[in-house]
Amino acid sequence: MQPRVVVGAAIIAGAKVLAAARAHPPELAGLWEFPGGKVEPHETETEALYRECREELGVAIEIGARVGGDLITGGGRFLLRVYRAGIGEGEPEAREHTALRWLAADELDDVPWLPGNRPVVETLRELL
């Protein structure tokens, strides 16, 4: 069975990246991630990422290049692809997360990241 593609947005403003604390499922609640979600069958990856950021954060994003490579997460059930992004319109609000934080390179270890997001965090450390 092929893993389901999920996309994440490394939203960068200034020299900080936006991180979001998961609210659910219970086993992942409190861990931090890049906002995003599942790609539906009728969507491209960028369409899904744009939709997810609208739903989760209430913002329109401008999507750039991928950050890092393909990441297998969720015990092999998901293939995560993270894209660099900027905010095109709106102010992020935690609609589906318990909290949001803007993190500078030296603050990236201040939150407990989902294990599947950790390789991108390391790549971003060099970009910020």
CA–CA separation, 31 vs 17, rounded Å? 16
Task: Report pLDDT for 32.
Answer: 97
What pLDDT sits at residue 70?
Answer: 94
- The whole-number pLDDT of residue 39 equals 98
Residues 6 or more apart from 77 whose CB is under 8 A from it?
3, 4
Cβ burial, residue 105 (10 Å; 0-12/13-18/19+): middle
pLDDT at position 74: 87
**Digitized pLDDT (tens) for each residue of the chain, 128 residues in all:** 889 999 999 999 999 999 999 998 888 899 999 999 999 999 999 999 999 999 999 999 999 999 999 999 888 999 999 999 999 999 999 999 999 999 999 999 999 999 989 999 999 988 88
In this structure, the chain runs to a length of 128
pLDDT score of 126? 87
pLDDT value, residue 128: 87
Q: Domains in the chain, ordered, with CATH? A: 4-127 (3.90.79.10)
